[in-house]
Amino acid sequence: MSDLPEEVRGWIGQKRYEEEGEFDVERGYVFNTCAATENGNPLFWDEKAARDLTDGWIAPPTMLSAWFRPHHWAPGRSEQAQPLQVHFDLKEKLGLPEAVMTDNEIVFGEPVRPGDRLRTWQVLRSVSEPKQTKLGTGRFWVIEVEYVNQRGDSVGRESYTGFGYRRDA
């Protein structure tokens, strides 16, 4: 990785962009997700099932990242906020205008519940040498995202592999 900019090399292993979610976990988005995937799991629809099995309402575990995506617009914000900022920092610093996610691993911890206020941070784990794929020429990178609740319990950890690239002419 000798040709990697010094600044990018310095990000590897660094805890970056620690933040609290913009809003409390809420059931409205749970319904949006369940409706979008036609998910009838009674944990999200039947209060008795939720009380008996999970000690109350929970959110679908795979919604973890949704609780942190900034909204499309907010008053006073001049630049559009980006989720997974390290990914966008890499695109910019490495001059790679397009990007896709290729791998995603999620490990689930304590259930996330309506009313929770979660915190998160991102750690860049690695950046590959330049590679050529059918999309174009670019680099792969691995970013880990940690998620904890207001009590400090781990609610999950995600690992993303991204490929930033320039379309071949």
Residues that bind another protein (CB under 8 A): 29, 32-33, 35-43, 45-46, 49, 53-55, 60-63, 65-66, 69, 71-72, 83, 98, 100-111, 135, 167
In the bound state with another protein, the residue whose beta carbon lies nearer, of 4 and 66, is 66
Instruction: With beta carbons less than 8 A apart as the criterion, state whether 113 and 107 touch.
Output: no
Instruction: With beta carbons less than 8 A apart as the criterion, state whether 92 and 141 touch.
Output: no
Please, what is the minimum distance in Å from the beta carbon of residue 52 to another protein?
Answer: 9
In the bound state with another protein, the residue whose beta carbon lies nearer, of 1 and 100, is 100
In the bound state with another protein, the residue whose beta carbon lies nearer, of 4 and 70, is 70
Please, what is the minimum distance in Å from the beta carbon of residue 7 to another protein?
Answer: 25
- Listed residue (158, 128, 127) closest to 144, CA to CA: 158
Instruction: With beta carbons less than 8 A apart as the criterion, state whether 34 and 83 touch.
Output: no
As a whole number of angstroms, the distance between CA 90 and CA 82 comes to: 13
Please, what is the minimum distance in Å from the beta carbon of residue 84 to another protein?
Answer: 10
In the bound state with another protein, the residue whose beta carbon lies nearer, of 14 and 102, is 102
As a whole number of angstroms, the distance between CA 155 and CA 52 comes to: 21
As a whole number of angstroms, the distance between CA 42 and CA 13 comes to: 40
Please, what is the minimum distance in Å from the beta carbon of residue 92 to another protein?
Answer: 16
